[in-house]
Amino acid sequence: MSIHCQLLILILPLTLGIQVHTGELIECQEAVPHSRPYMVHMERSMQDGETRHCGGFLLNEDFVMTAAHCQASSYTALLGVHNVSNSNGVQRISVEQTFPHEDYNETDLNNDIMLLKLSTKAKFSANVGHIALADQGDGSLPKSCILSGWGTTVKNISYMSAVLMEVNVTLNDSKQCPNTNLYCSEGETGPGKGDSGIPLVCENGKAYGLVSHNFRPPSGGPEIKGCTKIPEHRSWIDSTI
């Protein structure tokens, strides 16, 4: 069912004078249940006792990928989720070890990518599976991509979507994109609060990137949505796994 979504914006000021947001998503629609079996709903236990969320995606039976800025004291990966209020058939697996990129920069969010090793192997099924990653050779800019996540869906309300939502995005060669490690897009569609770490899935069904941050460049102009490039990090990913 198609719905109209507007997501809460979270502003993070950076030392470079760039304003960074978690994003705003409109014209999204509910995903077909379990049509994206690689999606992972990440529960993050924080030092203050709160539970927060990020998105992630399953690479194999042992590893989940998410954003490095999704820091937490501990993590639980929920696999096979569509509606977060329905736990039937959902696998809850704790994270045994975290591998944030060694060159991750908390200030400008460069190399915003992290691998999480599960404490037990995921059990593949019709609702749980992995996604292939774009290779280093897949360097050409994909045009038509999809983002899926459980991020917030009501403006100025912090609760997340109960069901998995998805939206189409188009990448571009924006000169405002701050570095070669990001895919960028402009316009109103994009990820929302709680969607950090969700995969950018493009024409061939591979994950080309993961949601990092949105920002408004110092020179002004429209907000830009940034996703960490997976092809640029394949050597690190393969060596870590």
28: which DSSP letter?
Answer: -
Nearest Cα to 47, choosing from 67, 26, 74, 87?
74
Q: Cα–Cα distances in Å, from 158 out to 11, 26, 133, 166?
A: 14, 16, 31, 18
Please state whether beta strands 19-21 and 207-216 pair in parallel, antiparallel, or not at all (unpaired): antiparallel
Catalytic residues: 69, 112, 196
- What are the DSSP E strand ranges found in the chain? 11-13, 19-21, 29-30, 39-45, 51-58, 63-66, 74-79, 91-100, 114-118, 144-149, 165-170, 182-186, 199-202, 207-216, 224-229
